[in-house]
Every structure is written in C-alpha cells, then in structure tokens.
Amino acid sequence: MSTGLRERAAAELARTRQRSVGLTDAVDDDDLVRQHSRLMSPLVWDLAHVGNQEELWLVRDVGGREPVRADIDQLYDAFKHPRGERPALPLLSPAQARAYVREVREKVLDLLDTVELEGRPLVEQGFAFGMIIQHEQQHDETMLATHQLRVGEPVLVAEPPPRSRAIVAGEALIPGGPFEMGTSLEPWALDNERPAHPVDVPPFFLDRAPVTNAMYQAFIDAGGYGDPRWWSADGWAHRQEAGLSGPAHWHGDGTYTRFGRREPIVGDEPVVHVDWYEASAYAAWAGRRLPTEAEWEKAARFDPATGRSRRFPWGDDDPTPEHANLGQRHLSPAPAGAYPAGASPAGVHQLMGDVWEWTSSPLYGYPGFRAFPYREYSEVFFGDDYRVLRGGSFGTDAAACRGTFRNWDYPIRRQIFSGFRCARDPRPGELAD
Ligand code: AVJ
Ligand code: FE
C-alpha cells in the first residue's frame, strides 16, 4: 500500500471518528445507555461495537497483535444479541467505551504506518481499512436514526439544506439495453457489490426526483391509507396492525418532528421514514411502480455517450457538497432541484443522498458472488425477506456510499432514512418513432 493510501486511510479514520464522537458526546451518560427504541441499540453499544470490529479486523487480523479486550467480543457481536436485548447486557460504561475505542485506534494508527500490506486480499488497496471506515460510518447513520427516535430536547445542530435551484419534475426515459451492474474494480466496494456483470434492462421511465412530501400528502388526502386496492395483502395487514396513517414522525396536522424539533412539513422535500409497503402503495395509487434494483443502478451509472457504467450519476469524481446531500452536513433531505450538479446524463436528480430509495428487489448475491471477508456482512441476509435500498441519505457518509452500494431492510421498517421514487414501463407505442 502506497504512502498515499496510508494517509488517506488515516484521514478517513480520523474524520469518521469525529462524527462518532459528535453523535455520542451530544447526549449525557443516561441517554447513552438507554434504549430509545426496541429497534435500536443504546448509543454506547454502537460506539463500543465499532471499536470491537476495528479491533477484530485491524488490530488482530491485519496487525497480528494481541487482543485489547478479547473478553468483550461476544457482547458486541450483533448476531449473539438482538438489539432489544442489548441494554440488559453488562456493557462497557460510556467512559469505558470511550477509553476502549481510543486504545484500539492508537494501535491501529501505529500499525497503519508499518504493517505489510502486500499479498493478502484483505489488505490489498487498503480494503480492510476501507471496510472498517465504512462500518463505522454505517453505525454513525444508525446512531443518527437513534437520535431521530430519541425523545427529549434537541441536541444536534446543522446548517439547513440548500434551496431548490432547478425545477425538477416528471420523468426521464432510460434507454433499453445491457449495462454493467456492480463492480470488480472499486477498491473499497463490499462483497455484495461484486462482481461486475452485464444486465439487460428494457427501456423504462423513472421519476427525475424522489417523491416529495407534497406528493405523498396527496396520496394521504386521497384516502390512500384506507383503500386496500393500493396495498399488497402483507402490506395491508401491516398497515392495519401497526395503525399506520402517514410517514413516521408526521403528526397529521401538517407538522413532523425531526431530531426533537416539531416543524411545518416542507412540501418539496423528499418524503422520508416510509416503509416498503407504503412506498409500493403510493406507486400503485399513482399508476406506477417501484424501480427494480437493476433499473435504479442503470439510471444512476449508465452513460449513454460511452456505454460505460460510472461510479456516480455525475461521473467518476467523489461526491462534493455540490453533488449530493450526504454526510450529515444537514439534518434533513434537501428539496427537489437542490443538486443540479449531481444529475445523471438523462436528467435524473438526487439519486445519491437525501433519502435511501426503496427498490422492488429482494437482496441476493450477484452471479459469481463470493462472501468476503465474512458471511455475516451480507450473505446471511440473502433471500426474499429483505428489500434493497439505494443511493444513501443525508445521514450517509460519502465513504459508505456509491452508485453500486446496496443497503437492505425488512419491508416494514421505516426508522431508517427511507424514501423512494417511482418508475413505469413505456405504454404500447410510446417509444415508436
Ligand atoms: C448494510 C446497513 C444493512 O446496519 O445492519 C453494520 C451495515 N453491518 N454492521 C446494518 C452493518 C454490520 C448494515 N446495513
Ligand atoms: Fe456493525
């Protein structure tokens, strides 16, 4: 690994830790050890879990060093204890967790300068460091979701998102034909994004912006939550059992609560905190459907000028604040039209950032998938139980998101920053010229 890569890894580790510290220093110790929702861990669990994964992979495996705290591995193994059980475990206290993650990090920075990094797939191009940076960033988004569920005085502050700078409405035609899905080259891509493979995607239309709060309100006003015609059988059963009447955190009077602040709903911002059933019901009501995962990725990556799949809708450059609402710079999605520089060649906006976008697809491995470096990152989740989300949210860091990145959750979940956009097939004769 070159000096450049080592420096980049060190810088990304430091930048990431700053966010973890910000999210955990924002509340007091009582708040850190408390469970704000059965769906979430206490924040102090996330913090020590991040340190434990870093210890397992970087200190012990890559570095070949002695364990820092082998006795706590099972407490922070996400598969040993479901989230609901975590507050009752003999967890490290906030002070102990902070000291633990600092000690692990010191060892990692020490070994990063000197460790042999050739000849092992785990370390080639700094993969293990990239994996651990992304893991911490993923938990930073999880911790942000916990903050959204937390009851109490607001503690997080950020600049408001940029205003709309372009009118973005209607749909774009994505041309039919094969494109390359996934990646074999992106150095820090995770196992489920690999390998690159051709997929034939027939022509389809995709919304140029995510579905907004005003659009979603029209579905509510039209009685969408009371009409089983728009819902699948499972979706309708869940809507009734859970008593859903609108997105999570909406109060039904034109306001919602964001990170402890009750505010008027902004009509042109993408709707967030809807589950897959709600997104699918909206689409059915609108005479549309959710895009498949392959359609979403083709819209986000395919460059018709060259026939090549790029890293992002705007090209191969890493995201900047001009391209996308990522990285917790803002504490909400930005209005449709806020990121003209991030649009795709076909004129599809805000595919990256703002809200995770539900697709119709369940999570499976690509042809030729190989679990790496551990089955529990993604392979154990393959199957029909989960749906794939794409594109990242305002809470997702650029290091943990790209055109190939795949997220997933159960179709009933909406504690994540989940929204959607709609697609449709061409009507008969519509594309004939
Ligand atoms: C890829 C976001 C579904 O948070 O459950 C974190 C990421 N994996 N620690 C999750 C993850 C292990 C994962 N998601
Ligand atoms: Fe984890």
Same-domain check for residues 197 and 321: yes
Q: What is the pLDDT along the chain (433 residues), one digit of tens a residue?
A: 467 899 999 999 999 999 999 999 999 999 999 999 999 999 999 999 999 999 999 999 999 999 999 999 999 999 999 988 898 999 999 999 999 999 999 999 999 999 988 889 999 999 999 999 999 999 999 999 999 999 999 999 999 999 999 999 999 999 999 999 999 999 999 999 999 999 999 999 999 999 999 999 999 999 999 999 999 999 999 999 999 999 999 999 999 999 999 999 999 999 999 999 999 999 999 999 999 999 999 999 999 999 999 999 999 999 999 999 999 999 999 999 999 999 999 999 999 999 999 999 999 999 999 999 999 999 999 999 999 999 999 999 999 999 999 999 999 999 999 999 999 999 999 998 6
How far is ligand 2, taken at its centre, from the CA of residue 366, in Å?
22
CA distance 406 to 385: 15
**What Cα–Cα distance (Å) separates residue 93 from each residue in 48, 80, 122?**
9, 20, 32
The answer to whether residue 252 sits within a structural domain is no
How far is ligand 1, taken at its centre, from the CA of residue 20, in Å?
16
How far is ligand 2, taken at its centre, from the CA of residue 134, in Å?
10
Same-domain check for residues 144 and 184: no
How far is ligand 1, taken at its centre, from the CA of residue 17, in Å?
17
Same-domain check for residues 90 and 202: no
Same-domain check for residues 287 and 410: yes
Same-domain check for residues 51 and 120: yes
User: CA 85: distance to chain centroid?
Assistant: 24
The answer to whether residue 241 sits within a structural domain is no
Q: Model's pTM, two decimal places?
A: 0.98
Atom 12 of ligand 1, nearest CA residue? 377
Q: Which ligand is nearest to the CA of 46?
A: 2
Burial class (CB in 10 A: 0-12, 13-18, 19+), 23: buried
Same-domain check for residues 141 and 184: no
How far is ligand 2, taken at its centre, from the CA of residue 140, in Å?
10
Q: Is the CB of 148 under 6 A from ligand 1?
A: no
How are the residues of the chain apportioned to helix, strand and coil, as percentages rounded to the nearest 5? 40, 15, 50
CATH code where residue 61 lies: 1.20.120.450
CA distance 135 to 101: 14
To test the ligand 1 pocket, which listed residue (83, 138, 377) has its Cβ within 8 A of the most ligand atoms?
138
Q: Is the CB of 35 under 6 A from ligand 1?
A: no
Q: What is the pairing mode between strands 204-207 and 407-409?
A: unpaired
Q: Which ligand is nearest to the CA of 377?
A: 1
Same-domain check for residues 201 and 73: no
The answer to whether residue 312 sits within a structural domain is yes
The answer to whether residue 238 sits within a structural domain is no
Report the SS3 class of residue 423.
strand
Host domain of residue 81: 3-149
Contact in structure between 11 and 318 (CB atoms under 8 Å): no
The answer to whether residue 386 sits within a structural domain is yes
Q: Is the CB of 396 under 6 A from ligand 1?
A: no
Q: Which residues contact 411 (CB under 8 A, 6 or more apart)?
A: 234, 235, 275, 276, 277, 386, 387
Q: Is the CB of 408 under 6 A from ligand 1?
A: yes
Position 432 scores a pLDDT of 80
pLDDT tens string 379-404: 999 999 999 999 999 999 999 999 99
Same-domain check for residues 69 and 202: no
Same-domain check for residues 412 and 340: yes
Q: Is the CB of 142 under 6 A from ligand 1?
A: yes
Same-domain check for residues 419 and 274: yes
The answer to whether residue 47 sits within a structural domain is yes
Same-domain check for residues 410 and 275: yes
Residue 406 Rama label (left phi>0; alpha psi -120 to 50; beta): beta
How far is ligand 1, taken at its centre, from the CA of residue 14, in Å?
21
Q: Which atom of ligand 1 is nearest to the CA of 377?
A: 8
CA distance 429 to 295: 21
Neighbour-count burial for 29-44, b at 16+ CB within 10 Å, e otherwise: eebbbbbbeebbbbbb
CATH code where residue 404 lies: 3.90.1580.10
The answer to whether residue 223 sits within a structural domain is no
Give me 137's structure tokens: 């960033």
Same-domain check for residues 11 and 140: yes
Count how many domains the chain has. 2
- With a pLDDT cut of 90, the percent of the chain lying above it is 96
Position 72 scores a pLDDT of 97
The answer to whether residue 283 sits within a structural domain is yes
